[in-house]
Structure 1
Amino acid sequence: MKISHLARLLFHSSLILLPETQGHPVPWDNTRGLIQARDALGYIEVELLNQDTGGYFTLPFGSQGSLNTLIVDTGSSDTWVYDGNSDDCRHNGCAQNNFFDYSQSTTFSKRNITDPFTLAYLDGTSVSGYYAYDQVAFGSTTLKEVPFAIVTTAPQSYVSQFVGLGFPEYASLAIKGGHVFPSIPQLFKSQGLTKRTAFSYWLNGNSKAGHVIFGGYDKSRVLDNQLFTLKLVQDGKWSLAAGKPLTYSVDFDSITQNGNTVTAKDTKYVALLDTGSTFSYFDQTTYDNIKKTLGATYSAEEDCDVLPCSAGDKIEFQFNFGKHSITVKGSAFIFQGYMSTCRFGVGVIGSKETHISLGIPFFRSAYTIFDQEAIEVQIGQAINDKDTVKDIAVIPEYDGVDDIEGEDALEWCSADY
């Protein structure tokens, strides 16, 4: 697995993420039927390739079905792939891994969007290209007229492609005052494939595959079918300017371990729920306490904090949202290093920063429904690493009545099979 130390720039006024580890996944065997479409039932299930660095889709782009593997990212709203014909793509290796050749697609269109696509990284590098439209297949279902960016200029070190599932107003062009493209969840609804602009995300612990279900969720993967509802909060200058939440950010109280508070005492946090972030990012106090609990130490040889790979096997943390909590295993914060040791999967945002990011370590234990219409998320303790009988509930049309924060999720109709 090739690892890049570039960090994505999240367009957030106060949350500045330090460089995170991004991985390039091994391509899927497309004959295994890992993508399932259930459009007749009002939902579409797409299975995730579960890797150390996060969850990935492998999706056919264009009429020729060019396979591309992309990180599924709730922390951004941009979807982009490499242009296989560009010089930068050939030089940095993406032409041997993931790319899109638009010249082979009869459904490709640039339309009249002349604004360039640009994303900057904290180390000074960036990716850039142009916007286009084409079809993207999800199993037997094809989503038409999908807007995405094609990257022609990229750094020498390979950066993974992304499929952004955030709010449309939070895309890189939109926050610059440019064109606002519909989000992928919106396209599923507008093309009659789902009833609501909502989807569920389940990584399945450390197993090989989880899923994203557009328009539904699998009740068999939620402990006791208990989901709690959190309203999204305005976070960042673009959200404040828009007068509504533009990110999946929620109020967050604390982390505890064996009754001891790990986060800074008497501090209220705002947490970004970011499936595109390999690590979770906290203030210095929280970082130090988790590091001490797991026994991580700094390694000059690897230039990062390392620890024994089995250090977190018997340790559990409670992530507290008001009266509700999610149990996260200590092992979720441990990633395979370059040598014989493992790497500590937590980053620092700032010494007293209250805007934090819950990345892949959190989602290995949580089942989450992201709802752009109700402007909320619903979270439950995930059932991982074992077989269950699927019990998929279709998320109904939004009736304009917000769920009450902290109450259990509504009982939605099921499609058992």
Structure 2
Amino acid sequence: MQYKRASLALVALAAGSRADANDYITDKIMRVSITKAAPSQDLIQGVDAAVVIPGGASLADLKDVSYYSVISLGTPAQKFTVLVDTGSSALWVGSKACNLAGSCNDAEGFDPDASSTFVDLAVAKSFGYGSGTISGSQVQDTFTWGDYTVPKQDWVLVNNEDASAQKLQKKQVDGLVGLAYQAGQNANPNYKFPTVIESFIKNNLIQKPVFSIWLNGTSDNGGQSLFVDGGEIVFGGVDPAHYKGDIVTYKVIDPYFWGISLSAIQVGKTSLPTASGVTAIIDSGTSFIYIESNYLTTQLLPAIYSAIGISPVPATSPTYGNYQTVDCALVPSLPDVSFNFGDGKLYTLGWRDYVIPVTSTVCGLPFVPSGRNNPNEWLVGDIFLRKFFTVFDFAGPYVGFAESISSKGFQLPASVPVQTQPVLQTATTGTKSGAESVLGLSGLAVLFTSFLW
């Protein structure tokens, strides 16, 4: 694969390069649409009905916090709703027996007795995520996603979900499909698992070892909780209809995750350099942006709040899921927040891109402490991916970004009075009733962090 490179002699691991878009455009691709969930059966029906592209399937979006797709397993096929996660590698679905016993909390549950092609490899597997732990057995069966079928795909049939994982499932979804890089020589063997994208490549189902993700936002659907047209995954290339401008690529520097170097975050016109060695892990299974705690509390948040006249940084409140909040009237005065991946190019999120509705008057910020054992591993989730069309290229390996043709972003409630000039305030906390909640989800970032811990 050829790339057009500027300043190739500069720091190769950090500097971005403009890829020739023709390298990613091929005839042999498969489009999979993304959805933002509802109860599984409704989601499956809605996603199936949304397939309008020959050779395609669908993805869905739940209130801009998680993105799902429908896959099938077994012979005859059993359909399931799964979270699409570039931050882990395993495909897993809860078993029917596990759900009947109350040890799983999925929408459906796979029945191995109903599949003539099911093989239990009898290898115990357990995976811990930022939002819970699952355990089960490594198995094989026929796997189908969109138009592509793999006869003997390895996956995990789950026989136990801990309380946190069950809270995530909520009988709405069935599991997770992992799309991590994991091709590096030093990838953690405890994380590695045969991915479906690896199977697509090995079985020559796609022409190039690439997939791309375009995420849409619920604001394009009037803010409804279920957005069937939640986005699209293309395996084997890109869809030029979903981005504009150049695709700029960055070298993957992590052996397992789609991790690239992050040199600074800029708030307004003020650059806040990161420590040496910070890796931004591009993770579709994470809703928000997870940042090392000291950098977050001493640099990023003070810069954001001072731009709207608030000092010191207000304390978080359990009432609002322990996230940073701001009066919605001040939202239009919030500064741009930009990411610099080492080449000086800024990937900018305006307030419409990053503000989260909490109540009719309280708005949230998506920048939260990572809690990772490795303080240099930061997670860049869907807040960023909605703004920037993303390419995942195994051949480089690279992650590439282009400006997305996507959501209009967050819209302020009509009842909120807009205060255009910042006013110095003392940080306060408040309370909210369930009726006030716009988002309707407690502990949102915890629930939707499907990153391997």
Give the TM-score of the pair, scaled to structure 2: 0.66
> Take 1:370 and 1:122, find their aligned partners in 2: how far apart are those partners?
22
CA shift, 1:132, in A, is 1.0
The answer for unaligned runs of 5 or more in structure 2 is 1-35, 170-174, 221-226, 409-453
Q: How many angstroms apart in 1 are the aligned matches of 2:71 and 2:387?
A: 25
1:233 aligns to what?
A: 253
State the match for 2:397 in structure 1.
375
Asked if structure 2 preserves the Cα contact closer than 8 Å seen for 1:200 and 1:216, the reply is yes
* 1:312 to partner: Cα distance: 4.5
Q: CA deviation at 1:72?
A: 0.9
- 78-87 or 264-273: bigger deviation: 264-273
Residue 356 of structure 1, CA deviation:
1.4
Letter in 2 for 1:48: L
Q: What is the CA distance between 1:360 and its match in structure 2? A: 1.2
The answer to whether the 8 A contact 1:37-1:138 is kept is no
- Mapping 1:2-401, distance limit 5 Å: 25-27=38-40, 28=43, 29-34=46-51, 36=53, 38=55, 45-51=56-62, 52-86=64-98, 90=102, 93-94=105-106, 97-110=107-120, 113-120=121-128, 126-156=133-163, 157-160=166-169, 161-168=175-182, 175-176=189-190, 181-206=193-218, 207=220, 208=227, 209-224=230-245, 226-234=246-254, 245-261=255-271, 263-264=272-273, 269-283=278-292, 284-286=294-296, 287-289=300-302, 292=305, 297=314, 298-305=316-323, 306-308=325-327, 312=331, 315-321=335-341, 322-337=343-358, 341-349=362-370, 353-385=375-407
RMSD value, Cα:
3.2
Match of 1:115, SS state, is strand
- Percentage identity across paired residues of the two chains: 20
3-state SS, counterpart of residue 182 of structure 1: coil
> Rg: which structure is higher?
2
Distance 1:64-1:158 versus aligned 2 partners, 3 A rule: farther
Gapped regions of structure 1 (runs ≥ 5): 1-22, 39-44, 235-244, 387-417
Number of residue-to-residue matches in the alignment:
337
Question: Match for 2:250: what amino acid?
Answer: L
Q: Structure 1 313/204 Cα, relative in aligned 2: closer, same or farther at 3 Å?
A: farther
Name the structure 1 match of 2:423.
none
C-alpha distance in structure 1 between counterparts of 2:332 and 2:54, whole Å: 36
1:36–1:139 CA contact under 8 A, matched in 2: no
1:282-334 C-alpha deviation (Å, 9 max, x unpaired): 12333524652577842243351333457555643222221323222334434
Q: Describe the shift of the 1:221–1:122 C-alpha distance in structure 2 as closer, same or farther (beyond 3 A).
A: closer
Higher percent of residues as strand: 1
Q: Which letter does structure 1 place at the counterpart of 2:338?
A: Q
Cα distance change on mapping 1:336 and 1:83 into 2, 3 Å: farther
Aligned partners of 1:279 and 1:346 also within 8 Å: yes
CA-CA distance at 1:216 after TM superposition: 1.2
Shift of 1:257: 2.9
CA displacement at 1:182 relative to structure 2:
3.4
Distance 1:89 1:310 in 2: 48
Distance in 2 of aligned mates of 1:255 and 1:87 = 44
Question: What are the superposed Cα offsets for residues 70-109 of structure 1, whole Å, 9 maximum, x if unpaired?
Answer: 1111111111111121257635532xx1421222122222
Determine if contact 1:329/1:365 at 8 Å carries over to the other structure.
no
* In structure 2, C-alpha distance between the alignment counterparts of 1:152 and 1:338, rounded to whole Å: 38
Contact 2:126/2:136 (8 A) holds in 1: yes
Distance 2:183 2:278 in 1: 24
TM-score by length of 1: 0.71
Q: Distance in 1 between matches of 2:354 and 2:105?
A: 29
Show the counterpart of 1:17.
none
Hey, what's the Cα distance between the residues in 2 that align with 1:102 and 1:35? Answer: 31
